[in-house]
């Protein structure tokens, strides 16, 4: 299909799809899925689908749209200056900061929000587990220790969600419906219907003093790196719990293990790690009252890529109509 000078790039885009080998099939982007997701008026002039180890640089350099789960920033900087839109099928883009590799004419869009339903369910499950001291029960099981401690219902249990965006908001909604008393921390300080009180980050330490369960759902930025360290863990009331569904770098894992071993925290659940799979010799595996989840809180085996491609469809429509694009990454904020 040829492109005429009267056609906008949105109507006849040159699309480049890049997959990585050995990833879970749930993350594979197919040509068929992309074509099925496009608006009816969008007729791509070319669609190239390659694995990253067999990249077609000639097609890459001609592309208007790049769709990928993992971005090779060096390749994009060298060969992607003509890209109009990059649709990343991952929500977290902290690994690509700073964004000096991105051309001024290129918009980077992420997959923020596509995980919301699954994360909401996982967050509710994990928070109930922390409230009922399930990590402690699991540790006792390994020790063959019968330690029967009764717990009150969850209603009124004080939860603090740090990062009330798409994911944190979805968790807050589930927790509110289950009777938890949910407060939140977000950079903007804007209210959320599922959050009783919202605070700006400068109030974090003060709010930790009144928190039974801390949930981390924020992006990893220079401001949130090691957000939870010795000071923050010490301020939490004795017996508090912690859930991290954001990025591993927001928690000082060494200090977390100390707080769990000395039983200041009653339990923690981690779903994200600096290195994945978590190495067999990592001390987290054997830390008392800690549960390790293999990064399964957000993704489902079916429909993930389709939800990501729906963002692409909307962005093509918005771009053609001169409207702001969705899920655009702020190069300064880093998410």
Q: Give tens-digit pLDDT for 167-196.
A: 999 999 999 999 999 999 999 999 999 999
Asked whether the beta carbons of 94 and 122 are under 8 A apart, the reply is: no
Portions of the chain given CATH number 3.40.50.720: 14-114+300-321, 116-292
Cα radius of gyration rounded to whole Å, the chain: 22
State the Cα–Cα distance between residues 216 and 13, nearest whole angstrom. Answer: 39
Strand order of the β-sheet with 65-68 is 46-51, 14-19, 65-68, 85-88, 107-109
pLDDT value at residue 4: 37
Q: Is 95 left (phi over 0), alpha (psi -120 to 50) or beta?
A: alpha
Asked whether the beta carbons of 329 and 198 are under 8 A apart, the reply is: no
What six digits make up the tokens of 258?
Answer: 């100390």
Instruction: Please identify, in words, the CATH class of the domain defined by 14-114+300-321.
Output: alpha beta
Instruction: Give the homologous superfamily in CATH for domain 116-292.
Output: NAD(P)-binding Rossmann-like Domain (3.40.50.720)
pTM here is 0.92
Degrees to nearest 5, angle at CA 129 with 125 and 135 = 135
pLDDT value at residue 50: 98
pLDDT value at residue 5: 38
DSSP-assigned letter for residue 77: H
pLDDT value at residue 299: 86
Per-position b or e across 211-234, b if 16+ CB within 10 A of its CB: bbbbbbbbbbbeebeebbeeebbe
Question: Residue 6 pLDDT > 80, yes or no?
Answer: no
Q: What is the mean pLDDT of the chain?
A: 95
pLDDT value at residue 7: 65
Please give the sequence-ordered ranges of beta strands (E in DSSP) within the chain, or none if there are none: 14-19, 46-51, 65-68, 85-88, 107-109, 158-162, 181-185, 197-199, 213-216, 240-244, 265-270, 290-292
pLDDT value at residue 301: 85
């Amino acid at each position: 299909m040829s492109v005429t000078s009267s056609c906008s790039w949105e109507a006849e885009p040159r699309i480049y799809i890049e997959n990585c080998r050995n990833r879970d099939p749930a993350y594979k982007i197919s040509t068929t899925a992309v074509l099925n997701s496009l608006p009816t008026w969008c007729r791509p002039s070319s669609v190239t689908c390659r694995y990253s180890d067999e990249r077609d640089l000639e097609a890459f350099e001609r592309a208007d749209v790049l769709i990928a789960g993992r971005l090779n920033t060096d390749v994009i900087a060298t060969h992607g200056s003509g890209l109009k839109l990059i649709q990343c099928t991952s929500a977290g883009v902290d690994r690509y900061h700073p964004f000096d590799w991105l051309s001024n004419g290129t918009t980077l869009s992420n997959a923020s929000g596509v995980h919301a339903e699954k994360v909401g369910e996982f967050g509710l499950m994990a928070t109930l587990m922390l409230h009922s001291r399930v990590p402690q029960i699991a540790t006792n099981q390994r020790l063959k220790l019968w330690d029967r401690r009764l717990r009150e219902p969850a209603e009124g249990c004080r939860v603090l969600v740090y990062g009330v965006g798409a994911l944190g908001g979805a968790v807050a909604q589930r927790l509110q419906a289950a009777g938890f008393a949910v407060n939140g921390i977000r950079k903007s300080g804007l209210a959320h219907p599922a959050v009783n009180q919202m605070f700006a980050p400068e109030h974090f330490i003060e709010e930790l003093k009144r928190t039974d369960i801390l949930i981390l759902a924020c992006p990893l930025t220079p401001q949130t790196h090691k957000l939870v360290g010795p000071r923050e863990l010490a301020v939490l009331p004795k017996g508090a719990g912690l859930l991290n569904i954001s990025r591993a770098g927001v928690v000082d894992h060494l200090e977390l293990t100390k707080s769990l071993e000395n039983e200041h925290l009653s339990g923690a659940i981690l779903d994200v790690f600096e290195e994945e799979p978590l190495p067999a010799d990592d001390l987290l595996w054997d830390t008392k009252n800690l549960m390790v989840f293999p990064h399964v809180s957000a993704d489902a085996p079916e429909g993930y890529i389709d939800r990501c491609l729906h963002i692409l469809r909307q962005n093509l429509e918005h771009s053609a109509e001169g409207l702001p694009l969705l899920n655009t990454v702020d190069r300064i904020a880093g998410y």
